[in-house]
Structure 1
Amino acid sequence: MKNLYTTILILLVSFSFAQQKPATAGPTSFILLGGTAHVGNGEVIENSLIQVENGIITKITSANEEQETSTSGQVYDIRGQHVYPGIIAPNSTLGLVEVDAVRATDDVNEIGSFLPHIRSIIAYDAESRIVESMRPSGVLMAQITPRGGRITGTSSVVQLDAWNWEDALVKEDDAIHINWPDRFVKKGAWYDPKVGYKQNEKYKEQVQELEEFFAQAKAYQQADEPKLNLAYQAMGEVFTGDKAVFVSADSPKDILDALEFKRRFNLSNFVIVGGRYAHQVTKELKAANVAVLANRVHSTPEADDDDYDLSYKLPKLLHEAGVLVALENSGQMERMNSRNFPFYAGQVVAEGLSKEEALQLITLNPAKILGIDHQYGSLEEGKLATLFVSAGDALDMQGNRLSLAFIDGRKISLESHHTQLYKKYKEKYEEESEE
């Protein structure tokens, strides 16, 4: 009975602040005129003209050079504003949990250790109010990733304005995700002032279990008439490179072991996630052609002898070493903090990267890592018009004020329960001030 009351309460709260209706489906055409276009590949076009036909960018140039256009769609005068590619949130659990304290709304993990056949997209809630609250910051796409177990499951890439998961899909079943065993594990509770690390005595055993699973899965693919095994079956595209392998690992030795694992099983599509100390093995990462999703920029040092700003500058160190790097946001309160992606990039600017280089960390680079850069990640001709217009610098909290946003050329709503509450209480205090 208690669970029934909890469910009813959630429904009432959900209906009181219902999600905005997704943008109308179908091809759209329009022009963005006069804004500063941050292309996403390092290029900036002042006083730009961006022409979109049937949801695809057909022209991007300087308005001074070419004024003639062929579209009959609406012209948006955005002089004095800035245009950016839609921000992409990789390795995200958006839409998998709505209320942490209500188990029925938590689909972030499943029971078991080796779960490549568990598909997160089936559980993705396109109407999540948390998902909706990402769009006003410019976060328009995400890689929906399960958690838990050694192989946590298979992720998919979605756009964040849809009626259901089928409509949201951009790239289905793009990667499996592995939690690499830790050589050292924490001892003691987090609140213990003497908390430290101890060697993981089962490290070799855990790595061997992972290797055995991959070996058996590879043999399954080569068998003539294998007995159906869903976990092994889901691994087929991993060995062909059509499905990526994302490995969460932080220490240099763990990363090197993961790279040896990549070599042993000839895994061509391989990404390190987190990589807190990946800057210590950049030569090996570059030689193996492995990208890194750097851990949350706004995080504290892990070890006593870490630089206080290691998390801030890690993306810069990797970028300067020639490693393809993007930002990710896993960890405590990761879903609601996903709206801070543009400000994570802004933090990296403070560490020495240019604004356009930092922008790539949340647009073009994650698009490359996710294998969707032929359609997304930058404002280039032939790509889908997934972009937004901001009154100021989108990487700065004061400048990130969106006036327009489009996904696949569809103009989307920038309203959310946050903006509704803002307007509600703004009116309240305006009325009080008039009394």
Structure 2
Amino acid sequence: MAAAGLTACFLSAATALAQTIAVTNGRVITNAEAGVIESGTVLIRDGRIAEVGANVRIPSGARVIDAEGGWITPGLFHPQTELGLVEVALEAAARDNAASGSSFTAAIDVADSFNPAGNHIPSARVKGVTRFAVHPAVGSAIIAGRGALADASGRPDSLFADRQFMLVDLSVSGARTAGGARSAAWAYLRAAIEDARFYPGRFMSHHEGDAINRFDAAAMVDVVRGTIPLIMRMDRASDIRRAIAFQARYPAIRLIIAGGAEAHLLADEIAEAGIPVILDPMRNLPASFDTLAASNRAAGILHEAGVELAYTTLGSDLYWNPRLLRQHAGIAVAHGASWEDAFNAITLAPARIYGVADRFGSLETGKTADVVVWDGDPLEVLSAPTAVLIDGRVTSLETRQTRLRDRYAQMRREGEHGFAH
């Protein structure tokens, strides 16, 4: 009986994966050469996009999702979150984003902490986010560790790529962590880079390097060889200028700047250096001495200069408000960015930055079928998804919040309980 049940389970899963789905009757934003198809269809087979166009033949037996004149787009890709790492920020037992008491730095891997069943993941999914990067936060040193990529399905295998990038904090908070000054932070980073460059030879006679131990140095090797990018968390223009010089000194290292509140002051230099930027278009206030030049116009300036730009929700937060990604993109449009650039910055650009644009970020034949159906313009606050597909599977639009709403919306006569268990 157990074997028969297991076989049935596998057959059911295979059937779900092999299902053919046609998403029809919508304004299709392809993010590809096909551009915008005013009334089109996206045909999905075996979890991948089989065809996109205005005159797609729908096979017999296919499941049809009618967009009813709404918008059909690629799923949103959030480039900087702590989803699956934090449930309650003020409760240490529910927070795995940083390891402040650990002696390890680069060797820390968020995949070991990621919880695909985190309650904030469905909250992002019902707002159209289908993929996201999971970032570690700084712990005992400025090198926070290695990040990963995940989908928003909530399935046990939703973390689909681990050890995808290394994160280092070179902002004002990194300066404090390193000993109180930016000079200490940069000295630590350079020493760690040299430890990794000469690994394992430097560690043959003793266990410690100049900055990091053998285990951390082994993890940093992928950075110095350019196998994975190094994300530098920084905002100040002078720090970004130093990062450009660092890139010139270590050309094999692939840099990404996250934060970038003053990046627009160096837009042309960043574009020339080919360094991508992860920016929050809503950070427009001088919250610190690092962000005195923060501006809502920053996104438009960076786009115009040709910088590879992805949007984040850093100014809101990275564990609960990734769901606001499209709102932040709408703010960028309201302050000078084109709609096309802004939508690209929350779909295809993050996929390019993380090296997975061959699978995600656009609606093209052969790509993974991450598709969202909207009842209106996705960058309008009042629009909402009516269907979200991840890997060609229709996902739930239920969250903890909707369950609570439904539970407490039940009305009872006076004298009875206000809810039902």
Counterpart Cα distance in 2 of 1:255 and 1:305: 11
The letter of the residue matching 2:385 is: L
Equivalent residue, structure 1, for 2:117:
127
Change (3 A) 1:24 1:416: farther
**1:374-404 per-position Cα deviation (integer Å, ceiling 9, x unaligned):** 00011111110111111111111212x2211
Whether 1:404 aligns to 2:387 is: yes
How large is the Cα RMSD of the aligned pairs? 3.0
Change (3 A) 1:71 1:89: farther
Q: Is the 8 A contact 1:27 1:410 kept in 2?
A: no
| SS of alignment partner, residue 172 of structure 1 | strand
Bigger shift: 295-304 or 49-58?
A: 295-304
| SS of alignment partner, residue 384 of structure 1 | coil
Equivalent residue, structure 1, for 2:106:
116
Equivalent residue, structure 1, for 2:96:
107
Whether 1:214 aligns to 2:203 is: no
The letter of the residue matching 1:170 is: F
Q: What TM-score, normalized to structure 1?
A: 0.82
| SS of alignment partner, residue 342 of structure 1 | helix
- Aligned-pair CA distance for 1:205: 2.9
Whether 1:93 aligns to 2:77 is: no
Q: Is the 8 A contact 1:146 1:155 kept in 2?
A: yes
Change (3 A) 1:369 1:209: same
Counterpart Cα distance in 1 of 2:203 and 2:86: 41
- Aligned-pair CA distance for 1:330: 2.6
Equivalent residue, structure 2, for 1:55:
47
Query: 385, 397, 401: which is aligned to 1:414?
Result: 397
Counterpart Cα distance in 1 of 2:290 and 2:122: 40
Query: 26, 29, 33: which is aligned to 1:35?
Result: 26
Uncovered stretches (5+) of structure 2, i.e. residues with no partner:
1-12, 208-213, 415-421
Counterpart Cα distance in 2 of 1:129 and 1:340: 16
Change (3 A) 1:345 1:134: same
**1:62-114 per-position Cα deviation (integer Å, ceiling 9, x unaligned):** 1xxx2424474212222311111111111211111112232111111113586
Equivalent residue, structure 2, for 1:233:
218
Query: 310, 320, 325: which is aligned to 1:326?
Result: 310
Counterpart Cα distance in 2 of 1:264 and 1:97: 36
Counterpart Cα distance in 1 of 2:290 and 2:201: 48
Alignment of 1:386-401 (within 5 A): 386-399=370-383, 401=384
- Aligned-pair CA distance for 1:417: 1.4
Q: What TM-score, normalized to structure 2?
A: 0.85
Change (3 A) 1:306 1:101: closer
Query: 163, 177, 182: which is aligned to 1:173?
Result: 163
Bigger shift: 220-229 or 345-354?
A: 220-229
| SS of alignment partner, residue 147 of structure 2 | strand
Equivalent residue, structure 1, for 2:68:
79
Whether 1:163 aligns to 2:155 is: yes
Q: Is the 8 A contact 1:91 1:143 kept in 2?
A: yes
Percent of aligned pairs with the same residue?
A: 27
- Aligned-pair CA distance for 1:314: 1.2
Change (3 A) 1:403 1:295: closer
Counterpart Cα distance in 1 of 2:290 and 2:107: 40
Counterpart Cα distance in 2 of 1:221 and 1:331: 40
Equivalent residue, structure 1, for 2:269:
284
Alignment of 1:250-261 (within 5 A): 250-261=235-246
- Aligned-pair CA distance for 1:263: 2.1
Equivalent residue, structure 2, for 1:8:
none
Counterpart Cα distance in 1 of 2:339 and 2:78: 18
| SS of alignment partner, residue 44 of structure 2 | strand
